[in-house]
Every structure is written in structure tokens, then in C-alpha cells.
Structure 1
Amino acid sequence: MEKLNYQVLEKSGYQGYVLKDAPVKVMQFGEGNFLRAFVDYFFDLSNEKAGWNGKVTLVQPIAQGLTELINEQEGLYTLYLRGSENGKKVNNKRVISVCKDAINPYSKEGFEALLELAKSDDLEYIVSNTTEAGIVYDADTRFDQEPPVSFPGKMTRILYERFKAGKGGLVVLSCELIDANGQELKKIVNRHIDEWNLGADFKKWVNEEVLFCSTLVDRIVPGRIRDPKEVEEIEKENGYTDPLTDVGEVFGVWYIEGPKELEDKLPFKKAGVNVHVVPEVAPYKKRKVRILNGAHTGFVLGAYLAGFDIVRDCMHDDVVKNYMNKMLQDEIIPILPLDKEDCENFAAAVEDRFNNPFVDHQLMSISLNSTSKWKARNMPSFLEYVDKFGKLPEVLAMSFAAYIAFYSNNVQRREEDGLICKRAAGNEYKIQDDKEVLDFYDAHKADDVKTLVHTVMTNVDFWGQDLTEVKDFEETTVKNLTLIREQGAKAAYASVL
């Protein structure tokens, strides 16, 4: 069977939208699964729905990558968006044609092509997802390297070439998973300008003509189909092979921090896709952490003790599902600084996302580092609720007891990389967390409930404060942990409904 390209696609009888030729308007650092299932998908829809008429050139951010394969397929790849919407199974296929080609800047020819693209009159945007390690200052990065070692170094060189050519500024859309990603990138670019003596005029141009946008991305991208039988069936159905096939969940939203006029410049609003220009992304990050991540950490530990193994099965159980929804609707959403209806819609989408029939999301994988996760994701909602309403939020309080139960349930032994416990179902499970956390729970495995709760809650190293100072929290946690140990986590969850 032939590999996907435009000629093969035409022969296959594909009936969907395809755009073969258009000017390159986007330089994209990153050719991996996430950007192709997220950013490129939105730009591809903009071609179809808004007549944007643009293409993307992908830039390989590290020495090894997909450039050769992408060029062999003329930028084409098949994307499947799978999941649950309004409780119904969804499996949408689309051939993405927005990508023109790819550049490997680690070859002489590729580096020259990168600098040439930097000077293009058609270029409007630079997008990046170079992982959390990408936007960092590297003292070994130099202007004369081909290419400069770090991503901010490459960015500085690209912008300098554009400036020297007398071209206009660009919009930079950073997708890395760090706070204020765009502003962090801008800060390091400015540092390189100073250290490399690139001049006051260039620095002025960068700071006045280039718009560095911090963004918040949200889509789970498993990336590939792992079942060889399914791959075989899909290839037969499609009439081609496609090693670049990508898989993402149906839900996807992108928040871009920028001025109001950027919304009219970008094609997304006209295309009607779920991309929004906002004054700041911080509140939306808070919403994601508190609702999506907070829901995970809030219910999975007790759910695992109750005998569940994957997230989807939890959504098919009324007690666990209602426990999660009560936490979101009654305790988290009321204290968020965003439109209530917007938060409720996001929470409703969370239930669909957790019910994805295509993803077996293991509860144990979510349980990693739950001490710091509860502190970051759940504790702020808990404390703000207490502050606002003058009482304990029942479900969040129970989630804390479930956390202690998970970390102290029939402790068997301490291993080098974890603490081995046993749940009621009879199987052993491994808790993975910081060494200090594992050592703590191992040292206190013989404590009675009251002693254990007091010792955990007064551990300021864990929580940054003494949680026994929160009125009624200690005695409530003793009561909740006792209930979990005597009647099981599911009965404890049901008790707060």
C-alpha cells in the first residue's frame, strides 16, 4: 500500500477538505503529535471555514525528528479526534493539509532555509512547543552557531534576520507548559540581544513590533494508534499508509493572551473554532487546574481504594461521578474568578473527557506525586471555600482523607522507588512521590488514625502551613479516614452526597 501524499490521497477517493497550495504564514517550532493535533488542526479549519489561505512550515526543534517523513508525505497526515460529547461516542477523521513542509535546521541547507523563511513577506506567526525545557536561558548558546543551541537563541537569530531584511514584526504564540510562556521567551530573547550586542535598534524593534503571546493549551493527545489490528483496518479503509497518523481527544481549547485587535487578525474567530484571545490567561489556567486537574486528584485516590482502575469506569458509577460533580459544582466553581456559566460548561466537558471510550486512563498514573498535587490543585479551592463560606467543603475535605488513606492503606514495605501498600481488592500497589513523603508514611505506618491525621496535617513541609489551624478540619479528617478504613472509600464518598 502506498504512503500518503497528494496523489495517493486523490486516488483514495477522500472527500474531505484539502488545500494544496497557499503561502506559508506560520513558522512552527515542533513537529510532534501535540502541535499537529492542536494548532495545525485549528489553522486547517481556518482555511476551510474562514478562507485564511495559509500554510505552516514545521521546524524540527532538536537534531532528531520527523522532517524527512513529513516532506515525503508533502505535509499531509491523518488526524483522528476521538472521545465522548454529550455522552455520545465520537470518532472524527480529517486529513490535515495546512502543513506545507518541514525544515531540519541542523543541516546547512536546512539552516539556510530557516533564515530565508524568517525574511518572508508572507510570514505572520511563529508557534512553538519545545517542551518545558525549551524556554530556558542557555549560556552556551551563541549567535554564530548554526543553529544556536537553545530555542530562545534560535528565535533571537530568526528575528534578527527579519529585522536586517527590513520586514515587519510577527506574532509569537508560545504553547509550552510553563507559566507566562510568551513573556519568559521574550525575556530570554532580550537577554541574548544584550549579550550578543545586537544593537538598540533591533531591541526596540523586537519589543515594539513583535508580539509575544502567552497561551494556555488544553487537549489530551495520545498521539498514535497502538493496536496493530486497528492500524491494519484503518489503512485498508483509507487506501494508504500514514506513519504520521495522529490521535487527539475531541475537546480542545486554546487561550491566547493579547490585545483585542489580535482576535480580528487571527483567523480563528471567523472560523468559529474554540480559540479565544483574552486579556490574561492566568484565570483560565486556574480554571483548568482547579476543575480538570482538581477533579482528578479529588476523586481518583479514593476511587482506586474502592476497586476502580481507570477513569472511564469511575464515570459509569453514580457514587463516584456524583461525588466529583458535587465537588466541582458546589465547592470549586463558586470560588473561581470567572463567569459561572463558562465554568459550568467547562466542568460538563470534563465529565465527557473522563468518559472517553478510546482512552484507558489509569488511576495509578494520575496518583503520582499526589501530595504536591493535592496542595497545588485542591488545597487552594479548599481554603478559599472556607474563607468565603466560613465552613468546610465536605467533598474536598473527604478528598484529603482519601489522600491519607491511599498513602497509608496496609503499608507492606518501602522500596527504593516507592511505598508498597495493599488495597481491599487484595492487590499491592506502589505509591510514587518525593523521597521525604514516602519515608514519612513508612515511618508512620503503625500510627492510629488520630495520631496519623495530626502528624500529616501539622507537616508544614508538605502543605506550607499547619492545616490543624483550619477550624473543624482535623476532627472531620479523623472521622472521614475512620469511615474509609471501616466501611470503604465508596461508602465514605456516598456519605457526603
Structure 2
Amino acid sequence: MKKLSYQTLREQNYDGYLLPEAPERVLQFGEGNFLRAFVDYFIDILNEKTGFQSKVVLCQPIAPGLADLINEQEGLYTLYLRGFQNGQKVNQKRVISCVSRCLNPYKDYEEVLACAENPDLRYIACNTTEAGIVYDPSCQFTDSPASSYPAKLTQFLYRRFQKFGTETGKGFVILACELIDNNGKELEKCVLNYAAQWNLGEDFSNWIRRENLFCSTLVDRIVTGYPRAEADEINKENGYIDQLIDTGEIFGFWVIEGPQSLKKELPFEEAGLPVLITDDHKPYKQRKVRILNGAHTSFVLGAYLAGQDIVRDCMEDEVIQKFMNKTIYEEIIPTLTLPKEELEEFAASVTERFRNPFIDHALLSISLNSTSKWKARVMPSLKGYLKETGKLPSCITASFAFYIAFFRGEKLTEDGLVGMRNGTEYMIKDDQAVLDFFFAHRNDSAKDLAHAVCTNEQFWGEDLSKLDGFEAEVCRYLEEIEEKGAYEVMRECLAS
């Protein structure tokens, strides 16, 4: 960053809304872009609109982190939420002031553990990546700190138990935001495993279960982080230097699985925030995976073969957008359990999100690991539609043929499998077994390749050729892609 003649963002350099002094009621494991644009944003709004009066103390989960920068700026940073909302282009700016400080457990772990003795502390939020919630038996109670996040949390909870174990209501509401199934319950299992492994006593294990609430949650917001190319211009406009600028899409949705009593403790509804507290988060996760992620996986490979490179541009193409909408509204939504009105409202937000003018979402980035993505995101809709109607969904079936055509590589390299689009090379990236399979079948006819892919139980967990008519229809689409191109196949699907 070029040096500007402005001061670093601190309280004395900013004259907008800032939360006055408040107790640290939230501990957050993770100080990265996502949590600062999601959890901390919601808490900041709660503070302003409901008198929640809570500061958040951050703990960086790995040795290299942002603690020094965050503390230099007294926890302040500028957040921009940008995109389309209700058909309008939106660019919202807010200086977040709920963060009190950031601790580095690799420099002073005792300072982190001392937070457990704060009687005001009530909530723990975390996002330590998908690999963060893992039970590593090599972690020891005496480690300072333990390497895995669940082990650190167990050490922290034990300190809390030692200080307040005889008092009711001094446990925590723990909000796990990692992108794994049942994240809260998996975290609780890991903690109980460490409590047993470290022989911390049955009283402690019972206290964990009785006084602490491990909430599984679903998080949904694309966070693009520090806007390197725009940072100098933003700092000039703001009149201060902010090395922690964060950016994300305007859309946000948080589903927290927990008792209804949480609604009083965490008054998100009162603040008008898109946070839902429910006794079952799974239908909402299914909605996101099947509609948002499923839409991505269904159309991006065909759109790439049709000559597109960025999601936003696909939404400006009438055929591609209609193909995506038909997939969502006619083939995916009928297989889901939530009320149709809710599903269609979410689907409408997906189209706005894909049109976001501030995010250049590359189709090739979305194509990574498409095999496992198609299995998790699209295959359930295929089978659900067949079960509901007795017919094959045309767009979803075509999307499988797009997947096969996209993976028709010609050369295997250390970086991946090389495919060709209109005479230009592109890189196909997936598990090595997937790349080896498609390379081995690179010279197959459309019929032989469709059969080989459909019957590959290693990919799909079952033989898809047993779905009535599926293999033959995939073969027909694949032959048409090779003859007419992916775009014409999309157009054909709209007429069926």
C-alpha cells in the first residue's frame, strides 16, 4: 500500500457511530475476513439497535494472524457489503466497533485462558475452517496452546469450570460456523473426547453437557475480503488508513439450531437481522446446498463450454439464465420440504447474488472438484425429481452431460487434466482418481464414455445407469454437445 498522509483508523480518528465501553461477552476463535464480515457485523448491529452492549474479544486460531493489526486499530475496521438487493445496486459502508482486542495464543496463552474467568463472558463463536473441528489425540492438556481448536476450547472450558463450576448459568452458548455437517454437535463430541482422554473428571464432562449449549449453524455470505486493488482509493475517500478493510456481498443469512429461549438472549429478530433460530437447521442447509450450490454446479460447466468465464456474465445471457432458472424452479424446488414461497424467495435472491457487480466469480474456480460437488449438490435433486414425477429432469440430466464433456481432457499434467475450449486450453482440477479416470477414457465414444461415467460407483456411491433412461439420455445430450455445442443443448432444454 502506498503511504498516505492520513492517520491509521482509531477511535480518535473516526467521528461516526462507535460502541462505547461495554463488557466482553463474546469470545471469537477466528479473526479472518469471514467472521469479521458476518458474526461481528451482526453483533455490531445488535449493539446499535437493541442495546446488546457486548464487545467481542478475538483469538487468532493459527500462529500467523491479524492480532497486531487489529490491536493497532483498536479493533476498528471498515466493512463494505455490496451487490444487488431488491433489484438495486447496493454498496453499504459501516465501521465495525464491537471488537475490543485480538489475542495471540502463541505469544500469551494465559491471556486467552484468563478470559474464561470473566463472569460476563457468555458466547463463543468460531470458524476455524472445515479442518478446524477435528479430534487429534496427540494434543495434551499441558500444551500451551494445544494445536487443535477443540483441544484449545476444552482447555478454556476447564478453566471456566474451575472458576464457576458450582454456579448455574455460567456455561457458554457456542456458535460453530465451520462448513461441516452438524458443526456444533461435532465440536461437542471432540471436546468430550478430550475431557475423557485427559482424565478431567466426570463432573467436568457433566458440566459440559449440562451448562453449555453447542449450536450447529448454517452460515451464508460470500466474503471477498481485503480489496487490494481499491484500498488506496477507499482510504483517500475515508480520510484514514485502514489495513483491515473487509468486503462481502450484501446477502447474508445465519441459521442457528437451538432452543427458542435463545431468541431473547440474542435479539436478532428485534434488530431486523437475517438470523433464524430454529430447532432444526437441516432443511435450510438442504435449501442452500440444493438451490445455491446446486445451481452453480448445474450450469457453470455448460456455460464455460458455451464460452462464458464469469458468473455475472452468465446472468446477462438469456438462454443461460433461463436454463438456470428452469433447473431451480421446475426441477430442484419441487424436491425440497420447506414451503414453496420460502424456497422461491431464496431462489430469487440467488439470481441477484449471481449478478453481483462487485464479484468476478470465475466459472473455472467453481469447477474445482466438480465430481464430489455434483454428487452432493445435484444428484439428490435428480433422484428426488424422478421419485416425485417418474420422469427425468431435462436440465439436471443435461448438466451431467456438461460435466462429462467438460472433463474430456487430452493431456494429464502435474497441475491437472488439460481440456480444450474453442482451440484454447483450460485446466480441469479434481481428485487424482477422477483425473486419471477421464484421461484413461479420453478416446471413448460418447456412448462408451457416458456408460463408463454413469456406472462408476466410486464416484457416485451407486450405479446411475440403473436410473430408468438416465444413461441413454445423458449419451444423447453428450452427442449433441459434441455436434452442436453446449449452448444449443441449453436452448433445447428450455423447449422441453
Alignment TM class, shorter chain as reference: over 0.9
Which ranges in structure 2 are unaligned for 5 or more consecutive residues?
1-5
2:455 maps to 1:458: yes
1:268-417 matches, within 5 Å, as 268-408=268-408, 411-417=409-415
1:9 partner amino acid? Y
Indicate the residue corresponding to 1:60 in structure 2.
Answer: 60
2:167 maps to 1:165: no
Q: Partner of 2:34: helix, strand, or coil?
A: helix
| 1:9 maps to which of 14, 37, 53 | 14
1:42 Cα offset (Å): 0.2
1:374 Cα offset (Å): 1.1
Indicate the residue corresponding to 2:3 in structure 1.
Answer: none
Indicate the residue corresponding to 1:212 in structure 2.
Answer: 214
Q: Partner of 1:271: helix, strand, or coil?
A: coil
Indicate the residue corresponding to 1:258 in structure 2.
Answer: 258
Aligned identity (percent) is: 56
1:398 Cα offset (Å): 0.8
| CA-to-aligned-CA distance 1:446-486 (integer Å, 9 cap, x gap) | 22222221222122222222222111212211221122111
1:111 Cα offset (Å): 2.3
| CA-to-aligned-CA distance 1:335-371 (integer Å, 9 cap, x gap) | 1121211111111111111111011111111111212
| 2:492 maps to which of 486, 491, 495 | 495
Question: Structure 2 length as normaliser, TM-score?
Answer: 0.95
Indicate the residue corresponding to 1:19 in structure 2.
Answer: 19
Question: Structure 1 length as normaliser, TM-score?
Answer: 0.95
Q: Partner of 2:368: helix, strand, or coil?
A: coil
1:113 Cα offset (Å): 2.3
1:26 partner amino acid? V
1:435 Cα offset (Å): 2.1
2:180 maps to 1:178: yes
Distance across 1 between alignment mates of 2:451 and 2:132: 42
1:63 partner amino acid? A
Distance across 2 between alignment mates of 1:243 and 1:285: 34
Distance across 2 between alignment mates of 1:330 and 1:319: 16
1:405 partner amino acid? A
2:81 partner amino acid? L
| 1:144 maps to which of 120, 123, 142 | 142
1:436 Cα offset (Å): 2.2
1:9 Cα offset (Å): 1.0
2:422 maps to 1:434: no
| CA-to-aligned-CA distance 1:292-323 (integer Å, 9 cap, x gap) | 11101100111011100000000000100010
Distance across 1 between alignment mates of 2:59 and 2:371: 38
1:30 Cα offset (Å): 0.6
1:104 Cα offset (Å): 1.4
1:438 Cα offset (Å): 1.8
Indicate the residue corresponding to 1:467 in structure 2.
Answer: 464
Mean Cα deviation higher: 217-226 or 114-123: 114-123
Indicate the residue corresponding to 1:200 in structure 2.
Answer: 202
Mean Cα deviation higher: 397-406 or 428-437: 428-437
Distance across 2 between alignment mates of 1:163 and 1:474: 59
Alignment check: 8 A CA contact 2:410 2:442 kept: no
1:86 Cα offset (Å): 2.7
1:382 Cα offset (Å): 0.2
Distance across 1 between alignment mates of 2:477 and 2:405: 10
Indicate the residue corresponding to 2:192 in structure 1.
Answer: 190
Distance across 2 between alignment mates of 1:195 and 1:441: 45
2:316 partner amino acid? H
Distance across 1 between alignment mates of 2:124 and 2:457: 43
Indicate the residue corresponding to 1:485 in structure 2.
Answer: 482
1:375 partner amino acid? K
Aligned length: 485
Distance across 1 between alignment mates of 2:267 and 2:115: 21
1:217 partner amino acid? V
2:452 partner amino acid? T
2:471 partner amino acid? E
2:444 partner amino acid? D
Distance across 1 between alignment mates of 2:458 and 2:194: 37
* Cα distance change, pair 147–84 in 1 and its aligned pair in 2 (3 A): same
1:443 Cα offset (Å): 2.1
2:49 maps to 1:49: yes
Indicate the residue corresponding to 1:77 in structure 2.
Answer: 77
| CA-to-aligned-CA distance 1:117-161 (integer Å, 9 cap, x gap) | 111121110111111222111222222222222211211121111
2:125 maps to 1:122: no
Q: Partner of 1:198: helix, strand, or coil?
A: coil
2:363 partner amino acid? L
Q: Partner of 2:417: helix, strand, or coil?
A: strand
Q: Partner of 1:495: helix, strand, or coil?
A: helix
| CA-to-aligned-CA distance 1:258-303 (integer Å, 9 cap, x gap) | 1111122112122110111111222211111111111011001110
1:434 Cα offset (Å): 1.9
1:255 Cα offset (Å): 0.7
| CA-to-aligned-CA distance 1:66-103 (integer Å, 9 cap, x gap) | 11211111110000001112332211110000101111
| CA-to-aligned-CA distance 1:382-429 (integer Å, 9 cap, x gap) | 011101110011110111111111112xx43222332212113x2111
Distance across 2 between alignment mates of 1:435 and 1:203: 42
Distance across 2 between alignment mates of 1:105 and 1:415: 41
1:24 Cα offset (Å): 0.8
Distance across 2 between alignment mates of 1:145 and 1:460: 44
Q: Partner of 1:270: helix, strand, or coil?
A: coil
Distance across 2 between alignment mates of 1:436 and 1:133: 22
Distance across 2 between alignment mates of 1:464 and 1:205: 41
Indicate the residue corresponding to 1:113 in structure 2.
Answer: 111
Distance across 1 between alignment mates of 2:465 and 2:142: 58
Indicate the residue corresponding to 1:445 in structure 2.
Answer: 442
Distance across 2 between alignment mates of 1:9 and 1:264: 32
Distance across 2 between alignment mates of 1:147 and 1:371: 38
